[in-house]
Chains A and B, each alone.
Chain A
Amino acid sequence: MVAIPAKYLLAPAGSKVLLLGNEAIARAAIESGIGFASAYPGTPSTEIIEALAEMAKDVGFYVEWSTNEKVAFEAAYAASLAGVKALVAMKHVGVNVAADILMSSAYAGTNAGFLVVSADDPGQHSSQNEQDNRWYGFLAHIPVIEPWSPSSAYRLVKAAYELSERYRHPVIFRSTTRISHTRESILLEHDIPKNIKTKGVFDRDIKRYVLIPAHGRLLKKKMMEKWNRIIETEGREPFIKIINPGNRKVIIASGIAYAHTIEALEHLGRGNEYTIVRVSLPVPLPRKPIIEICREASKVLVLEELDPIVEQQVKKILFDEGIETKVYGKEYVPLNQDLDLDKVYRAIKAFEGLDPSETPWRPREPIKTEPPIPPRPPVMCPGCPHRNTFYIIKVAANKAGLRNPVFTGDIGCYTLGFQKPFKTQETSFEMGGSIGVAHGLSKTIEEPVIAVIGDSTFYHAGIPPSINIVYNKGRAIVLVLDNYYTAMTGHQPHPGTGYTAIGEKTYRVPAEKILESIGFKTYVINPMNVRESIEKVVEAYKAYREGGQVAIVSRMKCALQALRDARRAGIKLPVYGIIEDKCTGCMVCVNLLACPAIIVPEDGKKPRILPELCAGCGLCAQVCPFNAIEVIRPGDPDWIKAWM
């Protein structure tokens, strides 16, 4: 066995390593020789660039967190035009943000391998929708590759780069949550290349790169030629694989459905009765293997997650050929949610005409108690600055007589403010949406409107709508929650952090400077200082009521990061406790703050702070009407530094 270095992503060929799907994609991209990678974070895509950023200096390629997906795409695409192999990664909804350049990139093509990794989220584990991005392949005329496991992703990334180079065309590599976030033991096949190409040449070609209508019309013809060539010639391994040819029953399984199918057939003991077509190139689906296998088939079952993209193509291909074999698909598997072994097992049974309610596994009876087992939705962490800010803006609204404000919201950890007791997120549609929606509401309703947006989200898509408010005389307040990081996705740096993806110091672009130059009177608060912040926000609300354009920036470091920084620097943070004698059991701390570190014990009379969870922010002590919450374990004298 080969020794595994600390950076296991750099292990030599022949090593067996445990890789997250996203790490497998990153490693394969390195093996393919990328010189440029960019992304905006988003679950489930984030770890691709995180892994690449960690390896960038060792291997010698360029990596960045861009301000949004459109910018990330443009940058990586440009690298490929210069002849440098490139990768851009985003979550499925990020492709919506980058869709404009995606479309154009297919017209102009590429000069070096270029992969657009779209990490989709069937089941909506961490997203606002579960759109199936394989449709983008049709829309843009860009082929889509989808793996069925982390180890297949590792191999298919390399094949996808070859495909991209063969056609000088972008390729969409579509992963999903259950591939991106599954670890698998993977045998590394190739070493990290020695000579990485990071510099290229931009060969001017106006007819190709300036998409005026006259050029676009010609380019589209070329694009269609490539598209048809892919359909006719790429129906082979590794994109299409035929397993067990010669059977009359056929399952066509795309992406992860293949992994479920193999195991389901094993459980059914019917592995040998089926010919299986494993599809890793669902768009455009190559015709020949489909015709060949389905011509002799008695019936065909298409298994795929989300939309019937392969199913519809199979039906069209067979219809055009005059083949009458019946094709089934979404009758047996749902259009929503992720697939799993259980669903696919039942689908195949139903397809066989057997009772799908019979399975080899028997769930235990759920535990029913009184009171029942409570749900445990994600919550703001102990010490989360958003909790302080939400408390402050609500108290200040009362003090300033700002009646019944509408809080439009956005996407990030702070979205959790939709819950009780805060309810300071009353919309959340897409990144940056809080501000545009606030503007529209401010023009059409009587109540005051406050747009509440995270810092990373502000840089991503919050600036044009802020300009729009001032330009069009909107009446919404913009509140930026600056916790220094893109916290939701795991603390990636952004333009307000002062560091790049690989940890180098860079310029800081403070949100207040942007807001001020747009024309907002901007108030900056530190929500750890509760009283002072309330006063400032009251002042801001008053200025707003007098007709001013007002913005607020609330700046305090993400608690998870503060705890991490304290640990690294060996700084002891204070810990608070509830003094039993002073506590009256009024439950103000519990009910106004919903901090996970404050619990009500089984007897239910007086709350208690779990010391191992307390982050020492002190908000509860400032809120307690009886001064019953005190520091019980003092921090180091300079503990506040960990929060700065």
Chain B
Amino acid sequence: MTRYNVLLVGVGGQGLLTLGSIIGNAAIENNVHVTIAETHGLSQRGGSLIVHVRLGEGSSPLIPRGAADLIIGLEALETARYIEYARENALVVMNEFLWPPPLAKTPSLNTIIDEAGKRARLYIINANKEAERATGLVVTANTLILGYAIGVDKDFAKLLGGIDVVEKALARVFRGKALGLNKKALRRGYELAVSQ
């Protein structure tokens, strides 16, 4: 009975901890044990960020390299950086967004897409653009990409009890206006995946 491993990667400030929290609360709603190892402190200042979500019994918090069933990447360079974590045939859902660090030269988005595609079942979505279109706010890109990931990864969706349970779990994380907007973003991401 191995645990289901979901790696969240991106840049400090992109809302990775919130994303982890939504998944965790959905797991609770669905009665599945969960641990989420976060990164706090210095790396939150625009640094490379990695969050380990593990679904199922157990409390060892870190995913070994080569054991991630699903990677959700909010930024392309970070997705590429942590691709080692993917197991064979893993799913990788990547935001079509490349954010170069200051003063750095980077490979192109297309090169990353090519290379990542050789290593995993890669899904690309422009979550920033879709989020802005759906809610007017780029910051909801993380919720949108979660909806998308639930749409493409059936095992993940099952562990969280499906899109309705995840939507319900949003109420444990957001209140008021933010809750409505995130519900919209989640649904939109899900639709984009299942309508493919």
Q: Which residues of A contact B (CB under 8 A)?
A: 4, 6, 8, 16-18, 20, 43-44, 46-47, 125-126, 148-152, 178, 181-185, 256, 259-260, 262-264, 266-267, 340-342, 345, 359-367, 369-381, 413, 416, 420, 488-490, 590-591, 594-596, 598-600, 602, 612
Contact = CB atoms under 8 A, between A and B. Distances in A.
A148 to B, nearest CB: 7
Contacts of B47: 376-379
Given A181-B40, A365-B119, A367-B119, A378 B104 contact: no
Given A184-B34, A185-B34, A590-B103, 15 more contacts: A18-B24, A44-B41, A125-B43, A126-B43, A183-B21, A183-B35, A266-B1, A341-B64, A361-B65, A363-B86, A367-B80, A376-B78, A378-B12, A378-B45, A379-B47
B11 to A, nearest CB: 7
Interface stretch (B54-62, B148-156, B185-193): B54-62
Contact of A371 (B40, B42, B78, B107): B107
Contacts of B20: 183
A149 B35 contact: yes
Nearest to A126: B41
Contacts of A374: 77, 100-101, 104-106
Nearest to A338: B62
A183 B106 CA distance: 34
A262 B1 CA distance: 13
6 contacts: A44-B41, A185-B34, A266-B2, A362-B66, A363-B84, A373-B81
Nearest to B63: A341
B58 A369 contact: no
Interface residues of B, number: 67
Contacts of B43: 125-126, 378
Contact of B77 (A373, A413, A596): A373
B45 A416 contact: yes
A591 B103 contact: yes
A590 B45 CA distance: 19
Interface string B98-115: 011111111110011001
Given A18-B28, A151-B59, A376-B48, A366 B84 contact: yes
A94 to B, nearest CB: 14
A222 to B, nearest CB: 38
A17 B46 contact: no
Contacts of A361: 64-67, 87
A181 to B, nearest CB: 5
A380 B100 CA distance: 15
Contact of B46 (A4, A149, A366, A378): A378
A345 B62 CA distance: 13
A181 B46 contact: no
B62 to A, nearest CB: 4
Contacts of B103: 420, 590-591, 594
A156 B194 CA distance: 45
A416 B102 CA distance: 13
B126 interface: no
Interface in B131-185: 138, 172, 175
Contact of B175 (A6, A150, A183): A6
A123 to B, nearest CB: 10
B88 to A, nearest CB: 6
Contact of B58 (A16, A259, A364, A598): A259
A375 B34 CA distance: 30
B36 interface: yes
A44 B37 CA distance: 12
